[in-house]
Amino acid sequence: METEAPMAVQPREPVDEPAQSDGFVRGLSEAIGGPLGAHAVRPSRSAYGGGRFWTPVRVVLALTCLMLSLHWVQKSPCRDGAWVNLNQYKHFCYTDVLALYYAEGLADGQVPYRDHAVEYPVVTGAFMAVLGLPVHAFAAGREGVNQGERFYDLNALVLGALAVATAGMMLGLRRRRPWDVALFALSPALFVSATVNWDLLAVGFTAFFMYAWARRRPVLAGILLGVAVSAKFFPLFLAGPLLVLALRSGRWRATMTTVGAGIASWLALNVPVWFGYPHSWLEFWHLNRTRGIDWGTLWYVGEHFPLGGGRYGISWFQTLNQEPEHGRLNTLYFAMFVLACIGIAVLTLMAPRRPRFAQLAFLVVAVFLVVGKVWSQQYVLWLLPLAILARPRWGAFLAWQFAEVAYFVCFYGELMGASGKGVFPEWVFVLASVLRLVTVCVLMGFVVREILKPELDVVRHTYDDDPDGGDFDGAPDEGLVLGRAALATG
């Protein structure tokens, strides 16, 4: 009688436990008895199964849903649109989603770009229309239906789904380190900023792009990158790290395929709108070119430290903000950004080991925000997934999140002051702005240190090379290497 061969048991990927690998979490765990012992019973060593329902993946996704639900509750005082006596600032619940539903003509059934020149790239404008026009068609003329409230709720639902999908993509990139994504799920910045604007749309497509690239799907990655750039401009900066990593590794085919597919995707989305409504399409570029120094930026901080003008003099920064079209300001911050990118490229080529893609992506986007003339409160969402993928350490991350929340609170006080109801002296907001700048720069410094000393990179403790690297993962350096890197590889 034949006997059936036993089924092969699939090996499970080991799961990193922060209480064992992260000094900050280990210290906190002492309050409840310390880290799990080496011989303690662990119900599952897999993030994705093992006989129990609450696997790390499900816990992280559930925490993300909980945080987004709490965010909706936090924004609820503003949902009815009855913003009187500055209630939207007093309750910290202002959102562009609701304000622009009326300001961009969606409440009147106007089609973005065709009837109204919106201030966002085409995918964001289309997103506003796809959600806003049906709400207007349904709610207009119906007694007792607040169409602004319905529009906000629908946006919160879809943007929340994109945030959960972003967490899912991060979990896919970190199968052996699912608890890293708890940083995203429990992020205070996600709690206060998720639906302040439509940035989660671009953040979600950026996460999709990174996942497709990591899974070696260069055409799909390029298409998703083009969509992301058509939602917000910042994902374009992620092409830079791909090109520099290709320069060091000599792996150009997948990179150029992705870049080419990205350009084609962007053109396919933008050219029809540009031909049909050129003035409306140019509105985004015109607005960003002519905007002056915005709240909370490096340049705003500089305005409050007069140079050569005495106590009541006009600082050099203030003269930049007064010039027509802000040409000098644009030139200066763009030059600083380009120089910083050159520095990141040199760092990549000189590092003893090829940096991970997420490390470089975080550095490029972070430096753009640090030197930029605009740093809206919701831009923290751009950095959130990148910072976690680049450096999943709890201590510095939570310090940065504390600074972001402090800035969030002070920013609303500043808005009230600008509306005629002073809350605190100006220096309080300037201090909060400095704290945010400093903590982001400290995070950047830690990432640079771990690029120069890859043995300190906890992701490399778990993975052989770069789980986000796609075609670069495990590839030898067969391209351009400089100095220290040449000695290390030699």
Q: Express each pLDDT in 267-276 by its tens digit.
A: 999 999 999 9
Place of tokens 């539903």: 101
d(CA 92, CA 409): 7
**pLDDT of 303:** 85
Q: Dihedral of the CA atoms 399, 402, 407, 408 (nearest 10)?
A: 140
What band does 47 get if pLDDT is binned at 50, 70 and 90? low
Helix segments in 351-468, DSSP class H: 357-371, 380-390, 394-418, 426-452, 458-462
Q: Residues 103-128: what's their mean pLDDT?
A: 93
In terms of C-beta distances under 8 Å and separation of at least 24 residues, what long-range contacts does 45-50 make, across chains too? Answer: 45/12, 45/14, 45/15, 46/12, 46/13, 46/15, 47/13, 47/15, 47/171, 47/175, 47/176, 47/178, 48/12, 48/13, 48/175, 49/12, 50/12
Q: Give the best-scoring range by mean pLDDT among 11-15, 66-70, 88-92, 315-319.
A: 66-70
Please tell me the total number of residues recorded for the chain in this structure.
Answer: 490
Half-sphere exposure of 189 (CA within 13 A, CB side): 26
- Per 3-state DSSP, the chain is made up of helix, strand and coil in percentages (nearest 5) of 70, 0, 30
Lowest mean pLDDT among 104-108, 189-193, 194-198, 305-309: 305-309
Residue 72 above 80 pLDDT?
Answer: yes
Q: pTM higher than 0.85 for the full model?
A: yes
Residue identified by tokens 């040199």 is: 346
- Can you give the pLDDT at residue 22? 60
Average pLDDT, the chain: 88
> What pLDDT is stored for residue 424 in this prediction?
85
Q: 281: closest CA among 273, 290, 289?
A: 273
Which pLDDT belongs to residue 81?
84
- Read off the tokens for 339: 């120089």
Does residue 226 carry a pLDDT above 90? Answer: yes
Q: Nearest Cα to 301, choosing from 373, 364, 367?
A: 373
pLDDT tens for 395-443 read 999 999 999 999 999 999 999 988 778 788 899 999 999 999 999 999 9
Lowest mean pLDDT among 159-163, 296-300, 435-439: 296-300
Alpha-carbon gap, residue 102 to 109, rounded angstroms: 10
Among the ranges given (2-6, 224-228, 268-272), the one the predictor scored with the smallest mean pLDDT: 2-6
112 forms beta bridges with: 116
| Contact assessment for residue 337 and residue 448, using Cβ atoms and an 8 Å cutoff | no
